[in-house]
Amino acid sequence: MEIKKEIRLKESIKGQTANYKNFPMVPRVIYGRGSFDQLGALLMPIRKNADAPCIFLVDDIFEGTPLADRIPLIFNDQVIFISAEEEPKTVQVDVLVANIKNGFTELPSAIIGIGGGTLLDLSKAVSIMLTNIGSASEYQGWDLVQQAAVYHLGIPTISGTGAEVSRTAVLLGPDKKLGINSDHTVFDQVLLDPELTKGVSKEQWFYTGMDCFIHCIESLEGTYLNAFSQTYGEKALDLCKEVFLGNLSPLESREKLMMASWHGGMSIAYSQVGVAHALSYGLSYLLGVKHGIGNCLVFEHLQEFYPEGVMLFNKMKQRHGIELPQGICADLTEDDFDIMIKVALGMGPLWENALGKEWRKTITPQKLRSIYQKI
Ligand code: NAD
Ligand code: ZN
Protein backbone atom coordinates (compact mmCIF):
# COMPACT_ATOMS: atom_id res chain seq x y z
CA MET A 1 0.00 0.00 0.00
CA GLU A 2 2.68 2.42 1.09
CA ILE A 3 4.75 1.74 -2.02
CA LYS A 4 1.75 2.29 -4.28
CA LYS A 5 1.01 5.56 -2.53
CA GLU A 6 4.59 6.65 -2.97
CA ILE A 7 4.55 5.78 -6.66
CA ARG A 8 1.31 7.71 -7.12
CA LEU A 9 2.82 10.65 -5.31
CA LYS A 10 5.94 10.54 -7.43
CA GLU A 11 3.87 10.30 -10.59
CA SER A 12 1.73 13.22 -9.63
CA ILE A 13 4.77 15.31 -8.77
CA LYS A 14 6.37 14.29 -12.04
CA GLY A 15 3.18 15.14 -13.93
CA GLN A 16 2.95 18.51 -12.29
CA THR A 17 6.54 19.61 -12.64
CA ALA A 18 6.50 18.73 -16.33
CA ASN A 19 3.80 21.37 -16.85
CA TYR A 20 5.38 24.25 -14.98
CA LYS A 21 7.29 26.76 -16.99
CA ASN A 22 10.83 27.53 -15.95
CA PHE A 23 10.61 31.19 -16.79
CA PRO A 24 13.83 33.20 -17.21
CA MET A 25 13.85 36.69 -15.74
CA VAL A 26 15.95 39.71 -16.60
CA PRO A 27 19.03 39.13 -14.42
CA ARG A 28 20.03 42.77 -13.92
CA VAL A 29 18.05 46.01 -13.73
CA ILE A 30 18.94 49.60 -13.04
CA TYR A 31 16.05 51.85 -12.11
CA GLY A 32 16.02 55.58 -11.49
CA ARG A 33 15.78 59.08 -12.91
CA GLY A 34 18.90 59.89 -14.87
CA SER A 35 20.17 56.29 -14.73
CA PHE A 36 20.77 56.52 -18.50
CA ASP A 37 24.04 58.24 -17.62
CA GLN A 38 25.30 54.96 -16.13
CA LEU A 39 25.08 53.24 -19.51
CA GLY A 40 28.76 53.78 -20.37
CA ALA A 41 29.87 52.23 -17.07
CA LEU A 42 27.45 49.34 -17.51
CA LEU A 43 28.87 48.48 -20.90
CA MET A 44 32.53 48.74 -19.98
CA PRO A 45 32.91 45.20 -18.55
CA ILE A 46 30.87 43.79 -21.45
CA ARG A 47 33.20 45.14 -24.14
CA LYS A 48 35.30 42.32 -25.57
CA ASN A 49 37.88 44.38 -27.44
CA ALA A 50 38.17 47.49 -29.62
CA ASP A 51 36.98 45.58 -32.72
CA ALA A 52 33.81 44.22 -31.11
CA PRO A 53 31.53 47.25 -31.04
CA CYS A 54 28.44 48.12 -29.07
CA ILE A 55 25.61 48.62 -31.55
CA PHE A 56 22.83 50.94 -30.44
CA LEU A 57 19.46 50.46 -32.16
CA VAL A 58 17.62 53.68 -31.40
CA ASP A 59 14.12 54.94 -32.24
CA ASP A 60 14.66 57.61 -34.90
CA ILE A 61 12.44 59.98 -32.92
CA PHE A 62 15.63 60.63 -30.92
CA GLU A 63 17.82 61.49 -33.91
CA GLY A 64 19.42 64.89 -33.32
CA THR A 65 18.12 65.13 -29.73
CA PRO A 66 20.17 65.56 -26.53
CA LEU A 67 19.50 61.89 -25.68
CA ALA A 68 21.36 60.78 -28.81
CA ASP A 69 24.34 62.88 -27.71
CA ARG A 70 24.37 61.10 -24.36
CA ILE A 71 24.88 57.64 -25.94
CA PRO A 72 28.31 56.57 -24.67
CA LEU A 73 30.17 55.80 -27.91
CA ILE A 74 33.78 54.63 -27.96
CA PHE A 75 36.00 52.69 -30.42
CA ASN A 76 33.96 51.71 -33.47
CA ASP A 77 30.55 51.68 -31.76
CA GLN A 78 27.62 52.41 -34.03
CA VAL A 79 24.22 54.04 -33.61
CA ILE A 80 21.52 52.88 -36.02
CA PHE A 81 18.37 55.01 -35.98
CA ILE A 82 15.24 53.05 -36.84
CA SER A 83 11.66 54.20 -37.35
CA ALA A 84 8.99 52.77 -35.06
CA GLU A 85 6.20 53.79 -37.40
CA GLU A 86 5.70 50.17 -38.42
CA GLU A 87 5.86 47.03 -36.32
CA PRO A 88 9.15 45.13 -36.58
CA LYS A 89 9.55 42.61 -39.37
CA THR A 90 11.63 39.49 -39.83
CA VAL A 91 13.14 40.87 -43.08
CA GLN A 92 14.14 44.03 -41.25
CA VAL A 93 15.98 41.90 -38.67
CA ASP A 94 17.69 39.92 -41.44
CA VAL A 95 18.92 43.10 -43.16
CA LEU A 96 20.19 44.60 -39.90
CA VAL A 97 22.05 41.40 -39.04
CA ALA A 98 23.62 41.16 -42.51
CA ASN A 99 24.75 44.80 -42.34
CA ILE A 100 26.27 44.36 -38.89
CA LYS A 101 28.07 41.17 -39.94
CA ASN A 102 29.40 42.82 -43.11
CA GLY A 103 30.40 46.03 -41.36
CA PHE A 104 32.62 44.56 -38.65
CA THR A 105 35.31 41.91 -38.38
CA GLU A 106 33.99 40.65 -35.04
CA LEU A 107 30.59 40.01 -33.54
CA PRO A 108 29.37 43.00 -31.51
CA SER A 109 30.02 43.04 -27.78
CA ALA A 110 26.46 44.18 -27.20
CA ILE A 111 23.20 45.20 -28.86
CA ILE A 112 21.44 48.02 -27.04
CA GLY A 113 17.81 48.80 -27.86
CA ILE A 114 16.54 52.29 -27.02
CA GLY A 115 12.85 52.95 -27.69
CA GLY A 116 9.42 51.41 -27.26
CA GLY A 117 8.30 47.82 -27.82
CA THR A 118 9.25 48.09 -31.49
CA LEU A 119 12.92 48.87 -30.85
CA LEU A 120 13.13 46.52 -27.86
CA ASP A 121 11.81 43.59 -29.91
CA LEU A 122 14.08 44.44 -32.84
CA SER A 123 17.12 44.49 -30.56
CA LYS A 124 16.22 41.16 -28.99
CA ALA A 125 15.76 39.59 -32.41
CA VAL A 126 18.96 41.07 -33.88
CA SER A 127 21.02 39.85 -30.92
CA ILE A 128 19.62 36.33 -31.43
CA MET A 129 20.10 36.27 -35.19
CA LEU A 130 23.74 37.36 -34.93
CA THR A 131 24.53 33.93 -33.48
CA ASN A 132 21.89 31.73 -35.12
CA ILE A 133 21.89 30.80 -38.80
CA GLY A 134 19.10 31.48 -41.30
CA SER A 135 16.28 34.02 -41.29
CA ALA A 136 14.51 35.41 -38.23
CA SER A 137 11.28 33.99 -39.66
CA GLU A 138 12.60 30.47 -39.01
CA TYR A 139 12.63 31.19 -35.28
CA GLN A 140 9.10 32.58 -34.92
CA GLY A 141 7.56 30.15 -32.50
CA TRP A 142 8.48 28.56 -29.22
CA ASP A 143 11.98 27.49 -28.15
CA LEU A 144 13.49 27.23 -31.61
CA VAL A 145 16.62 29.25 -30.80
CA GLN A 146 19.70 27.04 -30.41
CA GLN A 147 22.59 29.40 -29.69
CA ALA A 148 22.80 32.01 -26.96
CA ALA A 149 22.34 35.55 -28.27
CA VAL A 150 24.83 38.39 -28.24
CA TYR A 151 24.59 40.30 -24.92
CA HIS A 152 21.57 42.62 -25.21
CA LEU A 153 20.44 45.51 -23.12
CA GLY A 154 16.99 47.15 -23.26
CA ILE A 155 16.14 50.77 -22.46
CA PRO A 156 12.41 51.56 -22.77
CA THR A 157 11.40 55.12 -23.69
CA ILE A 158 7.65 54.53 -23.45
CA SER A 159 5.85 52.38 -20.88
CA GLY A 160 3.26 49.65 -21.22
CA THR A 161 4.15 46.69 -23.43
CA GLY A 162 6.26 44.82 -20.88
CA ALA A 163 8.63 43.98 -23.76
CA GLU A 164 11.45 44.92 -21.38
CA VAL A 165 10.76 41.82 -19.24
CA SER A 166 9.28 39.32 -21.67
CA ARG A 167 10.88 36.26 -23.31
CA THR A 168 9.43 37.15 -26.69
CA ALA A 169 10.35 39.40 -29.62
CA VAL A 170 7.17 39.90 -31.64
CA LEU A 171 7.83 40.07 -35.38
CA LEU A 172 5.77 40.29 -38.53
CA GLY A 173 7.01 37.49 -40.79
CA PRO A 174 6.19 36.48 -44.37
CA ASP A 175 3.24 34.38 -43.23
CA LYS A 176 2.57 35.19 -39.61
CA LYS A 177 2.89 37.69 -36.81
CA LEU A 178 4.51 35.71 -34.04
CA GLY A 179 7.23 36.16 -31.46
CA ILE A 180 10.62 34.55 -31.15
CA ASN A 181 9.80 32.99 -27.78
CA SER A 182 12.90 31.64 -26.12
CA ASP A 183 15.03 31.80 -23.01
CA HIS A 184 17.67 33.53 -25.14
CA THR A 185 15.28 36.36 -26.00
CA VAL A 186 15.26 37.88 -22.51
CA PHE A 187 17.44 40.95 -22.04
CA ASP A 188 20.68 40.49 -20.11
CA GLN A 189 20.25 43.92 -18.62
CA VAL A 190 17.47 46.50 -18.54
CA LEU A 191 17.84 50.16 -17.70
CA LEU A 192 14.67 51.90 -16.52
CA ASP A 193 14.96 55.68 -16.52
CA PRO A 194 11.56 57.39 -16.14
CA GLU A 195 13.02 60.61 -17.57
CA LEU A 196 13.20 58.97 -20.98
CA THR A 197 9.42 58.70 -21.42
CA LYS A 198 8.94 62.48 -21.13
CA GLY A 199 8.26 63.34 -24.77
CA VAL A 200 5.54 60.78 -25.52
CA SER A 201 2.31 62.26 -26.98
CA LYS A 202 -0.87 61.91 -24.93
CA GLU A 203 -2.46 59.52 -27.43
CA GLN A 204 0.56 57.24 -27.68
CA TRP A 205 0.97 57.32 -23.87
CA PHE A 206 -2.64 56.19 -23.57
CA TYR A 207 -2.46 53.43 -26.23
CA THR A 208 0.75 51.88 -24.93
CA GLY A 209 -0.35 52.38 -21.30
CA MET A 210 -3.61 50.61 -22.07
CA ASP A 211 -1.62 47.67 -23.40
CA CYS A 212 -0.41 47.27 -19.82
CA PHE A 213 -3.90 47.77 -18.38
CA ILE A 214 -5.26 45.12 -20.76
CA HIS A 215 -2.43 42.72 -19.85
CA CYS A 216 -3.56 43.02 -16.23
CA ILE A 217 -7.25 42.46 -16.95
CA GLU A 218 -6.61 39.52 -19.27
CA SER A 219 -4.22 37.90 -16.84
CA LEU A 220 -6.34 38.48 -13.73
CA GLU A 221 -9.57 37.35 -15.43
CA GLY A 222 -7.97 34.34 -17.11
CA THR A 223 -8.24 30.66 -16.25
CA TYR A 224 -4.42 30.35 -16.17
CA LEU A 225 -4.23 32.68 -13.19
CA ASN A 226 -2.00 31.61 -10.32
CA ALA A 227 -0.58 33.34 -7.27
CA PHE A 228 2.60 34.31 -9.13
CA SER A 229 0.73 36.09 -11.94
CA GLN A 230 -1.89 37.47 -9.61
CA THR A 231 0.53 39.30 -7.33
CA TYR A 232 2.22 41.05 -10.26
CA GLY A 233 -1.09 41.64 -12.07
CA GLU A 234 -2.83 43.19 -9.07
CA LYS A 235 0.07 45.53 -8.39
CA ALA A 236 0.22 46.57 -12.04
CA LEU A 237 -3.54 47.13 -12.15
CA ASP A 238 -3.42 49.33 -9.03
CA LEU A 239 -0.61 51.35 -10.58
CA CYS A 240 -2.61 51.77 -13.82
CA LYS A 241 -5.58 53.05 -11.84
CA GLU A 242 -3.35 55.57 -10.07
CA VAL A 243 -1.78 56.69 -13.35
CA PHE A 244 -4.91 56.92 -15.46
CA LEU A 245 -7.55 57.83 -12.86
CA GLY A 246 -5.58 59.41 -10.01
CA ASN A 247 -4.00 62.81 -9.57
CA LEU A 248 -0.28 62.12 -9.80
CA SER A 249 2.41 64.60 -10.73
CA PRO A 250 3.83 64.05 -14.24
CA LEU A 251 7.00 62.56 -12.74
CA GLU A 252 5.13 60.18 -10.40
CA SER A 253 2.93 59.18 -13.29
CA ARG A 254 5.91 58.32 -15.50
CA GLU A 255 7.60 56.41 -12.70
CA LYS A 256 4.51 54.41 -11.82
CA LEU A 257 3.60 53.55 -15.40
CA MET A 258 7.13 52.29 -15.94
CA MET A 259 6.72 49.95 -12.97
CA ALA A 260 3.20 48.97 -14.06
CA SER A 261 4.60 47.94 -17.43
CA TRP A 262 7.22 45.79 -15.72
CA HIS A 263 4.74 44.11 -13.36
CA GLY A 264 2.12 43.65 -16.09
CA GLY A 265 4.76 41.93 -18.21
CA MET A 266 5.73 39.69 -15.31
CA SER A 267 2.08 38.82 -14.75
CA ILE A 268 1.44 37.59 -18.30
CA ALA A 269 4.80 35.83 -18.37
CA TYR A 270 3.40 33.23 -16.04
CA SER A 271 -0.20 33.27 -17.31
CA GLN A 272 -1.36 34.50 -20.70
CA VAL A 273 -3.19 37.35 -22.41
CA GLY A 274 -6.75 36.90 -23.69
CA VAL A 275 -9.57 37.99 -25.98
CA ALA A 276 -8.38 41.52 -26.79
CA HIS A 277 -4.91 40.35 -27.79
CA ALA A 278 -6.24 37.50 -29.94
CA LEU A 279 -8.50 39.88 -31.87
CA SER A 280 -5.91 42.64 -31.99
CA TYR A 281 -3.42 40.25 -33.64
CA GLY A 282 -5.93 39.81 -36.49
CA LEU A 283 -6.28 43.58 -36.96
CA SER A 284 -2.55 44.04 -36.86
CA TYR A 285 -1.82 41.22 -39.32
CA LEU A 286 -4.31 42.40 -41.93
CA LEU A 287 -4.26 46.17 -41.52
CA GLY A 288 -0.92 46.85 -39.84
CA VAL A 289 -2.77 48.42 -36.88
CA LYS A 290 -0.21 48.88 -34.11
CA HIS A 291 -0.42 46.79 -30.96
CA GLY A 292 -1.43 49.45 -28.41
CA ILE A 293 -4.16 51.16 -30.40
CA GLY A 294 -5.29 47.79 -31.81
CA ASN A 295 -5.90 46.51 -28.28
CA CYS A 296 -7.87 49.67 -27.43
CA LEU A 297 -10.00 49.39 -30.59
CA VAL A 298 -10.93 45.84 -29.67
CA PHE A 299 -11.21 46.18 -25.91
CA GLU A 300 -14.04 48.70 -25.88
CA HIS A 301 -16.27 46.03 -27.49
CA LEU A 302 -15.45 43.28 -25.02
CA GLN A 303 -17.97 44.07 -22.32
CA GLU A 304 -19.35 40.54 -22.25
CA PHE A 305 -15.89 39.12 -21.50
CA TYR A 306 -14.43 41.80 -19.23
CA PRO A 307 -17.33 43.94 -17.91
CA GLU A 308 -15.43 45.67 -15.12
CA GLY A 309 -12.30 46.14 -17.21
CA VAL A 310 -14.25 47.76 -20.05
CA MET A 311 -16.05 50.05 -17.61
CA LEU A 312 -12.69 51.20 -16.21
CA PHE A 313 -11.24 51.54 -19.70
CA ASN A 314 -14.09 53.83 -20.76
CA LYS A 315 -13.59 55.94 -17.64
CA MET A 316 -9.89 56.32 -18.42
CA LYS A 317 -10.58 57.14 -22.05
CA GLN A 318 -13.06 59.82 -21.05
CA ARG A 319 -10.80 61.26 -18.36
CA HIS A 320 -8.05 61.85 -20.93
CA GLY A 321 -10.26 62.92 -23.81
CA ILE A 322 -9.14 60.07 -26.06
CA GLU A 323 -11.17 59.59 -29.24
CA LEU A 324 -10.55 56.24 -30.85
CA PRO A 325 -10.84 56.01 -34.63
CA GLN A 326 -14.11 54.50 -35.83
CA GLY A 327 -15.09 52.43 -38.86
CA ILE A 328 -11.71 50.66 -39.21
CA CYS A 329 -13.42 47.50 -40.49
CA ALA A 330 -16.26 49.25 -42.37
CA ASP A 331 -14.94 48.66 -45.90
CA LEU A 332 -13.41 45.24 -45.45
CA THR A 333 -14.28 42.37 -47.79
CA GLU A 334 -15.42 38.87 -46.84
CA ASP A 335 -11.88 37.65 -47.49
CA ASP A 336 -10.45 40.31 -45.21
CA PHE A 337 -12.71 39.27 -42.35
CA ASP A 338 -11.79 35.64 -42.95
CA ILE A 339 -8.07 36.44 -42.69
CA MET A 340 -8.50 38.32 -39.41
CA ILE A 341 -10.74 35.60 -37.99
CA LYS A 342 -8.24 32.91 -38.97
CA VAL A 343 -5.39 34.77 -37.30
CA ALA A 344 -7.44 35.38 -34.14
CA LEU A 345 -8.70 31.78 -33.93
CA GLY A 346 -5.12 30.58 -34.29
CA MET A 347 -4.32 32.04 -30.87
CA GLY A 348 -5.46 28.92 -28.98
CA PRO A 349 -3.69 29.50 -25.65
CA LEU A 350 -5.10 33.04 -25.45
CA TRP A 351 -8.67 31.78 -25.88
CA GLU A 352 -8.10 28.92 -23.51
CA ASN A 353 -6.79 31.32 -20.89
CA ALA A 354 -9.77 33.63 -21.41
CA LEU A 355 -12.56 31.05 -21.53
CA GLY A 356 -11.24 27.65 -20.52
CA LYS A 357 -10.65 24.44 -22.47
CA GLU A 358 -14.12 24.49 -24.03
CA TRP A 359 -13.59 27.88 -25.66
CA ARG A 360 -14.41 26.59 -29.14
CA LYS A 361 -18.03 26.11 -28.10
CA THR A 362 -18.57 29.87 -27.83
CA ILE A 363 -15.86 31.38 -30.00
CA THR A 364 -17.03 30.79 -33.55
CA PRO A 365 -16.07 32.64 -36.75
CA GLN A 366 -19.49 34.33 -36.67
CA LYS A 367 -18.89 35.53 -33.14
CA LEU A 368 -15.53 37.05 -34.04
CA ARG A 369 -16.96 38.60 -37.17
CA SER A 370 -19.67 40.31 -35.14
CA ILE A 371 -17.01 41.89 -32.91
CA TYR A 372 -14.76 42.97 -35.81
CA GLN A 373 -17.77 44.56 -37.52
CA LYS A 374 -18.19 46.93 -34.59
CA ILE A 375 -14.62 48.26 -34.91
P1 NAD B 1 6.47 51.77 -30.27
O2 NAD B 1 7.85 51.34 -30.01
O3 NAD B 1 5.80 51.16 -31.44
O4 NAD B 1 6.43 53.35 -30.39
C5 NAD B 1 5.20 54.02 -30.54
C6 NAD B 1 5.45 55.47 -30.91
O7 NAD B 1 5.97 56.17 -29.79
C8 NAD B 1 6.47 55.61 -32.03
O9 NAD B 1 6.02 56.63 -32.89
C10 NAD B 1 7.73 56.03 -31.28
O11 NAD B 1 8.58 56.77 -32.11
C12 NAD B 1 7.14 56.86 -30.17
N13 NAD B 1 7.99 57.02 -29.00
C14 NAD B 1 8.63 56.08 -28.27
N15 NAD B 1 9.27 56.65 -27.23
C16 NAD B 1 9.04 57.96 -27.30
C17 NAD B 1 9.44 59.10 -26.52
N18 NAD B 1 10.16 58.97 -25.38
N19 NAD B 1 9.03 60.33 -26.92
C20 NAD B 1 8.26 60.49 -28.02
N21 NAD B 1 7.84 59.46 -28.78
C22 NAD B 1 8.24 58.22 -28.43
O23 NAD B 1 5.53 51.59 -28.99
P24 NAD B 1 5.10 50.43 -28.04
O25 NAD B 1 3.65 50.55 -27.90
O26 NAD B 1 5.96 50.47 -26.84
O27 NAD B 1 5.48 49.10 -28.81
C28 NAD B 1 4.63 48.42 -29.70
C29 NAD B 1 5.36 47.19 -30.18
O30 NAD B 1 5.66 46.37 -29.06
C31 NAD B 1 4.59 46.34 -31.15
O32 NAD B 1 5.44 45.99 -32.22
C33 NAD B 1 4.20 45.11 -30.35
O34 NAD B 1 4.11 43.94 -31.13
C35 NAD B 1 5.34 45.02 -29.38
N36 NAD B 1 5.02 44.33 -28.13
C37 NAD B 1 5.93 43.45 -27.66
C38 NAD B 1 5.71 42.77 -26.50
C39 NAD B 1 6.74 41.80 -26.01
O40 NAD B 1 6.54 41.20 -24.95
N41 NAD B 1 7.84 41.62 -26.69
C42 NAD B 1 4.55 42.99 -25.75
C43 NAD B 1 3.62 43.90 -26.25
C44 NAD B 1 3.88 44.59 -27.43
ZN1 ZN C 1 0.10 43.56 -25.30
pLDDT digits (tens, 9 = 90+) for 331-368: 999 999 999 999 999 999 999 999 999 999 999 999 99
CA 157 to ligand 1 center in whole angstroms = 8
Average pLDDT, the chain: 94
On whether the CB atoms of residues 369 and 375 are closer than 8 A, the answer is no
Provide the CATH number for the domain formed by 2-17+201-372 in this structure.
1.20.1090.10
Rounded to 10 degrees, the C-alpha dihedral 12/15/17/18 comes to 170
- Separation of first and last alpha carbons in the chain: 61
CA of 244: how far to CAs of 3, 257, 260, 305, 315, in Å? 58, 9, 11, 22, 9
Q: Please, where are the H alpha helices in the chain?
A: 2-19, 39-43, 66-69, 90-103, 117-129, 202-220, 227-245, 250-269, 275-287, 291-299, 307-319, 334-345, 348-355, 365-372
Q: How does strand 152-156 pair with strand 168-172?
A: unpaired
Find out whether the beta carbon of 209 lies less than 6 Å from any atom of ligand 1: no
Q: Which residue, among 332, 359, 335, has the nearest Cα to 346 in the 3D structure?
A: 359
Q: Give span(s): CATH 3.40.50.1970, the chain.
A: 32-197
CATH 1.20.1090.10 range(s) for the chain read 2-17+201-372
Rounded Cα gap, residues 38 and 112, in angstroms: 13
Domain 32-197: assigned CATH number: 3.40.50.1970
Those residues with Cβ within 8 angstroms of residue 102's Cβ, 6 or more apart along the chain or in another chain: none
Report pLDDT digits (tens) over 124-156.
999 999 999 999 999 999 999 999 999 999 999
Does 221 score more than 50 pLDDT?
yes
Asked whether 84 lines ligand 1 (CB < 6 A), one says yes
Predicted structure pTM score:
0.94
User: Partners of 192 in the beta sheet?
Assistant: 31
Q: What is the mean pLDDT of residues 264-271?
A: 95
Atom 38 of ligand 1: nearest residue by CA position: 163
Q: Among all ligands shown, which has an atom nearest to the Cα of 196?
A: 1
Question: 154: Cβ below 6 Å to ligand 1?
Answer: no
Rounded distance from Cα 357 to ligand 2 centre (Å): 22
Q: Which ligand is nearest to the CA of 295?
A: 2
Q: For ligand 1, what atom is nearest to the CA of residue 88? A: 32
Distance from Cα 11 to the centre of ligand 1, integer Å: 45
Confidence check: pLDDT of 160 > 80? yes
Band of residue 20 on the pLDDT scale cut at 50, 70, 90:
confident
**Which of 355, 300, 356 minimizes the C-alpha distance to 325?**
300
